[in-house]
Amino acid sequence: MLKIAVMGSGKGSNFQAIMHAINDGRIPNAQVVLVISNNSKAGILEIGRSWGIPSIHLSTQECGSEEKFIGNLLDALQKHEVNCVVLAGYMKRIPHKVIAAYRNRILNIHPALLPRHGGKGMYGMHVHESVIASGDHVSGATVHLVDEEYDRGKILLQREVPVSKDETPESLATKVLAVEHLIYPEAIRLFAKGNASAMNDTGKKEN
């Protein structure tokens, strides 16, 4: 069973899409057991609570130091037996110690076709502005694994979106977000399935 912690800083519309997919039975073998936000007012915490999931505010600022934050984060993940972290609009960098503890088990979604328009500073509207400025005729969304380099981890799933002639960053953001809501649940389904078959191959049982 995939026990997921979702981390986000904002609205949480991707998280909501994932919850609907789990609730509809579209992602067997997965449950969200914890929601974490660095922003106490983030909509994603409200959504988590509305689904009855423990939803907590955790940030470096609130913990007083980066070290304490990392300790509290790892404690919370362990306490809830999390074995997969899903970043859904999380605007902070994941500390290296956490990446190492959850190697190949942290997923992120990026609102462009990586490796294009990724890396430091490429978030939110900056991404869509960059796509339009470059004259690309297609953009899209990418689900990838998180490693120590920004937006460079293994790509799990991508889907394209056409960029029209009169496209604005805002209109492109709307189209890409709609695709994000489709591919993130699908990528998690495939990840959970891959996990299960990898387990069967080795004959090991995991929870």
10 or 54: whose CB is closer to ligand GRF? 10
Q: In degrees rounded to 5, what are phi and psi of residue 18?
A: -65, -45
Q: Which of 110, 117, 128, 144 is catalytic?
A: 110
Q: What is the DSSP string of 95-127?
A: PHHHHHHTTT-EEEEESS-TTTT-STT--THHH
Closest distance of CB 203 from ligand GRF, Å: 37
Nearer to ligand GRF, 11 or 97 (CB): 11
Q: How far is the CB of 12 from ligand GRF (least distance, A)?
A: 5
Cβ-based nearer residue to ligand GRF, 150 or 196 = 150
* Cβ-based neighbours of 181, under 8 Å, separated by 6 or more: 13, 14, 17
> Can 110 be counted among the known catalytic residues?
yes
Q: What is the largest CA-CA distance in the chain?
A: 54
CB of 205: closest distance to ligand GRF in angstroms?
33
Q: Which residues sit at the interface with ligand GRF, rule CB under 6 A?
A: 8, 10-14, 88-89, 109-111, 177, 180
3-state secondary structure of 181: helix
Q: Which is nearer to ligand GRF, 117 or 189 (CB)?
A: 117
Q: CA–CA separation, 44 vs 153, rounded Å?
A: 24
**33 CB contacts (<8 Å, ≥6 apart)?**
3, 4, 5, 53, 54, 80, 81, 82
Residue with CB nearest ligand GRF? 89
Q: Is the peptide bond before 115 cis (omega within 30 degrees of 0)?
A: yes
CA–CA dist 38, 32 (Å, integer): 18
Q: Which residue, 57 or 196, has its beta carbon nearer to ligand GRF?
A: 57
Phi, psi of 36 (to 5 degrees): -130, 135
Active site residues: 110
